[in-house]
Amino acid sequence: MDRTKGKRSRSVLCLAALLPLALAACRPLSDPTSSSAPPFVATGDLDTISGHGVLRVLVPRLDRFSYLPRGGRPLDDERELIAGFARDLGLEPYWVVVDAREDLLPFLLAGQGDLVAANLTATAERRERVAFTVPLMLVREQVVTRKSDRTIEKPADLQGRRVALRRSSSFWGTLERLRRDYPGIELEEVPENVNTDEILHRVATRRLDVTVADSNVVEATLRYRDDLRVACDLTEELPVAWAVRPESKRLLRNLNRYLSESQLARRRDQVFKGDLAGLRQEKVLRLLTRNSSATYFLWHGKLMGFEYELAREFARRHGMRVEVIVPGRGEDLMTMLAEGRGDLVAAALTAPDSRTRPDVAFSRPYNFVTPLVVAPATESGLRGPADLARRTIYVRQSSPHWDTLTRLREGGVPLNLQAAPEHLEAEEIIGLVAGEIYPLTVALSHILDIELTWRDDVTAAFPLADPAPLVWAVRASNPELLAAVDEFIEREYKGDTYNVLYRKYFEDPKKIRRHVRYRSAGDQLSPYDQLVKRYADEHDFDWRLIVALMYEESGFDPFARSFAGAVGLLQVLPRTAEELGLTDLEDPETNIRAGLGYLDWVRDRFEEDLPVRDRMWFTLAAYNAGTGHVQDARRLAAQRGWNPDRWFDNVERAMLLLSHPEHARNARHGWCRGSEPVQYVREVRATYEVYLDMLARNEPPPMTVRATL
């Protein structure tokens, strides 16, 4: 079966300009603000849009998986702006997800949407077709090559080089014009489903020669990798804006007024020390935080984290949006705050002595954490500090636990205190205790709570000290902001919003692991084999592998729900299902259709010329952790001399490193608990192999299947 041909034919069908079926392949993106109204085709200005009560926003599918924001607005911020604009006009936003970027403007002109929000450069060619709003930002088109390549310093140096681009990009037109003066420039067309991040990676690894990208994308890329360089600029600053139909003059006028009032174009690197009134006027709160499991991270294209979500709720209540700023190597959160490069620090801080930072003020506590002695689950008999006598315990020397244990030893408990490597995070040290490589460690209770949502091989033996408060920080010169933060914490601590978030991150299990209660003879593995066979065949998957995946995801429980809202047999996110036009995820057939549709999409993110088995292992790892984290691991594997096209013993080794700060800060998608997808792939493979063997011998499935690392 020609998979590429089949997918392209569906896109062509979606381009039938005035047919009612046109939106069948372009479903609304699940969002709290999404309309339940059916899709329709209509042109016209704001009066027509108001008559329908819906603002249809065309967005490209790949954008929400693009990167982890470290220095600016989160991925969802643009959609929050649009939602705010729509509500001001009494409309509901309706997100129309488009598979191919080159289809965005044709869909707009055909009346399949009212607004395009896709980081589009307002080029002269595009302005001949559509109208653009005031700029969201200004960018330059830049030539990007390998850091070691010093042969390009100006546009003329592109003579004799192959410039890799998507044909739908504005860069293609720029290069075609440049070729009039320099005909020796070659253009290499890159498939439309390859995003800019991947193109840049292929340039860095010599699979492509050279490329062109917008300066804001290049700037974000150079924050996490040092093997690329900007060779030269091809253009002056160009506006990036939203697009509407030329006849939508009232819509355009209202959008421009709204964007101007929102001061969207404020520079992100601006130093600002204003208090709450100034922040409300700017409508932006710059959040300084860390990229970790307890604070802020990317999961399946969704920004998550207890600190991030709580701070975002605070900002929302004061009419502000959140810009997230993650410090780079060597940067200090408190120093950045004091210098005016951020407004609020929310990073699981324990309250320090205020005399050490007179320029910083700390909020009232919003949580209390306790240092706990962590032991393997098989350990028993540890009930208090005296039981640590002649026991070995590992902690980082830089951690406060080192001082606590040192005082305990000086007080008469003859414990053996050992320094864990400084690069290890608390989660990794806990993993070493689970594997009985380290006998014992100490971890703060909120970190251990997160670990215990997905593992049962460690236990909290006893508290090592009294609970300590966690606080937020603002500048001492911002008393209004501090008062607002304190009021928010006082109102919300242990309230509904707080409790929902706390349960989500620290109590609810991430993955439901139930024993298989279904058993039968013959060639049946689960109650859903026939459904799996039907839809697996449609997507060219081995049905037995899908059943193994289903067991790992839900234990064959159609009502299973994860901490992040994934539902059913294959743990599908509602927004993913809605993109496929499906809603009832507790229905087994619907869930299997949605899960396999998404799995097929994930597989297409990896090259077709990969070994079949490795492409499948990458797909499974991405189904668990997200495609971005897997691609980060492949790049890291290549940097360390491992094979980026092999999962076992190669990319999986790199995946484990993504939870190390020095690697996470240099990864496009940031921190990832790499041990989870590594274990996940191994367990699915183990279950699959048992199923193959069982079916070959015509035996019933086992009650449980487990793999070990």
Residues belonging to the active site: 553
Enter the tokens of residue 299. Answer: 């999961």
- Displacement of CA 407 from its chain's centroid (Å): 41
| CA pair distance 265, 284, nearest whole angstrom | 11
Residue 334 CA to residue 473 CA, distance in Å, equals 8
As beta bridge partners, residue 287 has: 324, 344
Q: Which of 56, 23, 21, 96 is nearest to 248 (CA)?
A: 56
Nearest in space to 289 (alpha carbons), one of 422, 414, 129, 473: 473
Residue 327 and residue 98 in contact, taking contact as beta carbons nearer than 8 Å: no
How far is 112 from 104, CA to CA, in rounded Å?
A: 9
- 659 sits in which H/E element: none
Q: 610 and 635 in contact (C-beta within 8 Å)?
A: no
Are 244 and 92 in contact, with CB atoms under 8 Å apart?
A: no
Q: Can you tell me the distance from the alpha carbon of 195 to that of 200, in angstroms, rounded to the nearest whole number?
A: 9
For the residues of 531-548, what is the DSSP string, one character each?
HHHHHHHHTT--HHHHHH
N residues, the chain: 709
| Distance between CA atoms of residues 71 and 341, nearest Å | 10
What HEC string does 392-426 produce? EEEEECCCHHHHHHHHHHHCCCCCEEEEECCCCCH
337: tokens are: 């705050």
CA proximity to 291, closest of 61, 573, 566, 67: 67
As a whole number of angstroms, the distance between CA 117 and CA 115 comes to 6
How far apart are the C-alpha atoms of 231 and 147, rounded to whole Å? Answer: 9
Strand segments, DSSP code E, in 540-656 are none
Pair type for strands 416-420 and 367-369: unpaired
Distance of alpha carbon 385 from alpha carbon 675, whole angstroms: 31
Query: Measured between alpha carbons, how far apart are the two ends of the chain, in Å?
Result: 36
CA 159/CA 186 separation, integer angstroms:
8
In sequence order, what are the residues at sequence separation of 6 or more whose Cβ sits closer than 8 angstroms to the Cβ of residue 447? Answer: 293, 294, 426, 427, 430
d(CA 229, CA 226): 8
Pairing of strands 416-420, 297-299: unpaired
